[in-house]
A and B are shown apart, each in its own frame.
Chain A
Amino acid sequence: MTSLPVPPPAELAAALAQVVGPAQVLTRAPSLQVYRSDGLPGHRALPSLAVFPGTRDEVVGVLRVLATHGAPFVARGAGTGLSGGALADGITLVGLHRLKRILAIDPVARTATVEPGVVNATLTRAVAAHGLHYAPDPSSQAACTIGGNIAENAGGPHCLKYGVTLDHVLRATVALPSGEVVTLDRGDAGGYDLLGAFVGSEGCFGVALDVTVRLTPDPEGVVTLLADFTNLRAAAEATSRIIAAGIVPAALELMDQGTIAAVESSVYAAGYPRDAAAVLLAEVDGALAGLDADAEAIAAHCRAAGARDVRVAREATDRARLWQGRKKAFGAMGRVAPHLVVQDAVVPRTRLADVLETIQAIGTRYGIAVCNVFHAGDGNLHPNIPYDADDAEASARVHAAMTEIMTACIDAGGSITGEHGVGLDKLGYMDALFTPETLDAMCSLRTVFDPDRRANPGKAVPVHACREWQAVPAARRAPR
């Protein structure tokens, strides 16, 4: 495969060390091992070197050096991503975890300005005293960074009511891959929605230097409900009924039998009924007035759909216990097998029951266990497969099953990712989801921000879809 005339790492490393100091540049394979994967097993690649700027000026300096050398790079936060998006295959990795300052909190305007390496949950803790929180809550929120959340347009259980990352980002200062610094906003004062284009661009458009986010007032009251069902279809139907009735729960999560078993056998046991085929975890929050009416309506819809029992938790400790199993479900699956594919797809909510049955049938056919734990209210599926990634035969079966599951979601009118991004893992499905002209237009959008295609090359949109890229002399193309 042809590739860019990548400068020898020693020369590039020396130039980068001038910017950040030699201690913040790694070039030896053993120390680079930490960065060979993200949260998704099955994709592994070593960067040729890693550099860790500590200030925004250093980030800009690093990007300028990379631009001067024509060197491709991958920006990385906490590495909790689930699409292989933060992998740097033989190129430079720019780690941003040192940029972890909260620059400003404005409790009156309800905004905070943070550096990209600030951990999601850290921000919420920092503003708690003001009765505020940062609403997007990916399951990895104790580790994932705001910068990574922006790259992926991350979601989370409470995005059902409060919206995904994009709905909470007001402004960003961004270093383009050229090293030029720009300010992006939603264009509300008269301009294109450049921030809307940037959020979710999977590190292909540039590096955020600081981000101003919206903070959300803590609700007056919260009620969490757990409904258990003796069949999966009934749980999916309860979801459809609740959504169709116009109730907007703060969260509406579904866990199936495999997930319940994994959780209840683990240290995260949440008291879910072990003999249930599925449980629905629903939460309503907001003003105290009207809260119980919504909770009762949800309980009634669950019972009408066939729920065996509906538990209601109002106290913080009881609610936290019900949530623990959901938030730690992925960790609990660690008991089942050494690796876990946390998948991500979306279907129209009315198709949930059908698609879940199809997924079960696919799993049975390939002899693999699929544990579903997902954002039912959004139709955002997470079919998870515990397996041994070092077993080539098992990996092949998992891959084949995943392909069929993705196809089923596309056929149902859905999407291949709701919140994890395309990264490397989903590239192969993009042609099934989008027309060649649409993919080509996506390449045009990337060209606006990164004309040299040096930022996270080979991710998000398949290179073959980009007509103009094909016209570029091969020597100028970034390596995969």
Chain B
Amino acid sequence: MTTHRPETDLALAALVREAATAGTSLRIRGAGAWMDAGHPVAASATLDVTAFTGVTAYAPDDLTLSCGAATTLAELEAATRAHGQWCPLLPWGSDTGTVGATLATATTGPFGDRLGRPRQLVLGVRAVDGRGRIVEAGGRVVKNVAGFDLTRAITGSWGTLAVLTHVHLRLRARPTVDETWCVVGADEAALDAFVRGPLAPLGTVALSIEDAAALALPGPGCLLRLGGNAPFVAAARQVVRSLGDASAVDPAVWANVRVRCAPPSRATAWRWDALSLALRAQFDPAGILNPGLLGATR
């Protein structure tokens, strides 16, 4: 199968326009970590977007960062860690995956509820839609309601509306104290009250016997991440210790947890209602971007 690897937005736009005219369908590929959405894709060519990579703007004091869509999560992590910050996308899956794929699939992770889901952490995107239009949606500021929200429409569209090339992200400061605890035999009601209460952890994951063994954790039980300033975490830690048999573990375990405990793809249950079909028809009328990825459209 032919592979195209455009290096600029203009070249990508020209390629898409040509493909739309010729009816050549394109399978978008970054790091190749997120290819399976549960449906076969019958595309005539591969669109390799790995040329769009690297951090292009980073203002630590603004807590914002811009980067190419094919920048890997590991690269994003390394760039921000140096300033005591992170972009807490921390999605299910491996850090070899790209920022673009995380946004394209709107994949969240164990900390999404507390630290922000992809649709909350993305401030703007540059993308080439199925008509070959270069769309620069949103912006680099943290609050913005100018015009209709193309950023929200494109994020989580699995590349069926537009090909992401560049993204603007919101960052957060890493918590001053960041601890991970594994609790065995926790009382369900007490755990629930803790998770819903004012000292709530950044995230929690249930561990099966197999998970605990594979991750070399004391479990089965639950894994909790506490983050905040010192007095906050001290108070939360006290509650955690009262929940059950609690032991502190290396926070590095989360990278493996995100791979192992990932829920199944949501794309298999894609809802193709009339509005969704109209949306696709407006942005990719020839149906050339990732055709079939989200199941049959009619």
Binding site for B on A (CB under 8 A): 152-153, 155, 159, 163-164, 166-167, 182, 184, 186-194, 196-197, 199-201, 204, 217, 219-220, 240, 243-248, 286-290, 292-294, 346-350, 375, 378-380, 413-422, 426, 430, 433-435, 437-442, 444-449, 460-461
Judge whether A426 and B146 touch: CB under 8 Å: yes
Chain A residues closer than 8 Å to B145, beta-carbon distance: 152-153, 200, 415, 417-422
Within 8 Å by CB of B136, from A193, A201, A435, lies A435
Residues of A within 8 A of B62 (CB): 243, 348-350, 379
Q: Do A189 and B269 have beta carbons less than 8 Å apart?
A: yes
Q: Are B106 and A445 in contact (CB under 8 A)?
A: no
CA distance in complex: A347, B61 (Å): 13
Residue in contact with B143 in the complex, picked from A188, A191, A380, A441, CB distance below 8 Å: A380
Are B142 and A190 closer than 8 Å at their CB atoms? Answer: no
Known: A350-B62, A434-B136. A155 touches B143 (CB 8 A): yes
Is B7 in the interface zone, CB < 8 Å from A? Answer: no
Q: Which residues of B contact A153 (CB under 8 A)?
A: 145, 149
Q: When the two chains form their complex, are residues B143 and A190 in contact, meaning their CB atoms are under 8 A apart? A: no
Closest B residue by C-beta to A442:
B148
Instruction: Output the residue of B85, B156, B235 with the most chain A CB within 10 A.
Output: B156
Given contacts A155-B143, A347-B141, A448-B282, contact A190 B269 (CB under 8 A): yes
Q: CA separation between A240 and B235, bound complex, in Å?
A: 29
Tell me which residues across on chain A come within 8 A of B294, comparing CB atoms. Answer: 190
- Tell whether A350 pairs with B136 under 8 Å between CB atoms, given A191-B276, A460-B148: no
B99 nearest CB across to chain A (Å): 18
Residues of chain B within 8 A of A435, CB atoms compared: 134, 136
The answer to whether A348 and B84 touch (CB under 8 A), given A219-B198, A417-B146, is no
Verify if B53 is at the interface (C-beta below 8 Å from A): no
A163 and B120: CB pair below 8 A? yes
Q: Contact between A197 and B231 (Cβ–Cβ < 8 Å)? A: no
Complex CA–CA separation, A246 to B174 (angstroms): 8
Q: How far is the CA of A394 from the CA of B120 in the complex (A)?
A: 41
Residue from the list B84, B230, B275 in contact with A194, Cβ < 8 A: B275
CA distance A167 to B174 in the complex (A): 22
**B-side contacts of A189, CB under 8 Å:** 266, 269, 271
Q: List 6 A-B contacts (CB under 8 A).
A: A187-B271, A219-B198, A244-B63, A246-B172, A419-B145, A438-B134
Give the complex CA separation of A422 and B229 in angstroms. 39
Whether a CB of chain A sits under 8 angstroms from the CB of B283 is yes
Q: Which residues of A contact B173 (CB under 8 A)?
A: 245-247
A133–B61 Cα gap in the complex (Å)? 31
CA distance A461 to B269 in the complex (A): 34
Quick check: A193 and B143 within 8 Å, CB to CB?
no
Given that A192-B276, A200-B149 are contacting pairs, would A346 and B144 also be in contact in the complex, using a CB cutoff of 8 Å? yes
User: Hey, which chain B residues are within 8 Å of A292, CB to CB?
Assistant: 231
Contact partners of B276 in chain A: CB under 8 A = 191-192, 194
Please indicate which of the listed interface residues B120, B143, B229, B235 has the most CB atoms of chain A within 10 Å of its own CB. Answer: B143
Q: Give the interface size class of chain B.
A: 35 or more
Contact A438 B63 (CB under 8 A): no
Closest to A349 in B: B62
B129 interface contact, C-beta 8 A? yes
Q: Is the CB of B229 within 8 A of A294?
A: yes
Contact indicator A433/B146 (Cβ below 8 Å): yes
Min distance, Cβ B268 to any Cβ of chain A, angstroms: 7
Instruction: Write the nearest CB–CB distance from A145 to chain B, whole angstroms.
Output: 17
17 further A-B pairs in the complex, CB-CB below 8 A; given A240-B61, A293-B232:
A159-B143, A167-B120, A188-B106, A197-B149, A197-B153, A244-B60, A244-B63, A290-B229, A346-B141, A346-B142, A348-B141, A349-B142, A414-B141, A417-B144, A442-B148, A444-B282, A447-B282
- B69 interface residue, CB < 8 Å from A? no
CA distance A67 to B233 in the complex (A): 57
Give the residue name and chain of the B residue nearest to A465 (CB). B147
Tell me if A244 and B61 are in contact (CB < 8 A): yes
**Which residues of the partner chain A approach B199 to less than 8 Å between Cβ atoms?**
287, 289
B292 to chain A, nearest CB (A): 15
Distance A287 CA – B153 CA, assembled complex (angstroms): 35
- Binary A-proximity of B59-73 (CB < 8 A = 1, otherwise 0): 111111000000000
Among A192, A244, A287, A461, contact of B279 (Cβ-Cβ < 8 Å): A192
Is residue B119 contacting chain A, with contact meaning CB distance below 8 A?
yes
Q: Nearest 7 CB-CB pairs, A to B?
A: A246-B173, A196-B152, A290-B232, A289-B235, A287-B198, A418-B143, A190-B269
Given the interface pairs A244-B61, A350-B59, the reply to whether A439 lies near B147 with Cβ below 8 Å is yes
B137, B152, B156: which has the most chain A beta carbons within 10 Å? B152
The answer for the CA separation of A437 and B62 in the assembled complex, in Å, is 28
Set of chain B residues within 8 Å of A442, measured between Cβ atoms: 147-148, 150
Q: Which residues of B contact A288 (CB under 8 A)?
A: 198
Q: Hey, which chain B residues are within 8 Å of A247, CB to CB?
A: 173
Q: Which residue of A lies closest to B265 (CB)?
A: A190
> Which residues of the partner chain B approach A414 to less than 8 Å between Cβ atoms?
139, 141
Whether A190 contacts B270 in the complex (CB less than 8 A), given A240-B61, A293-B230, A414-B141, comes out as yes
Residue pair A293, B135 in contact (C-beta under 8 Å): no
Is the beta-carbon distance between A290 and B235 smaller than 8 angstroms? yes
What's the least CB distance linking A354 to chain B, in Å? 13
Select from chain B the residue with minimum beta-carbon distance to A164. Answer: B143
Q: Measured between alpha carbons, how far is A378 from B144 in the docked complex, in Å?
A: 10
A251 to chain B, nearest CB (A): 13
Q: How far is the CB of B172 from chain A (nearest CB, A)?
A: 7
In the complex the two chains form, is B148's CB within 8 Å of A438's CB?
A: no
Q: In the complex, how many angstroms separate the beta carbon of A108 from the nearest chain B beta carbon?
A: 9
Question: From residue 258 to 298 of chain B, which have CB atoms closer than 8 A to chain A?
Answer: 266-271, 273-276, 278-279, 282-283, 294
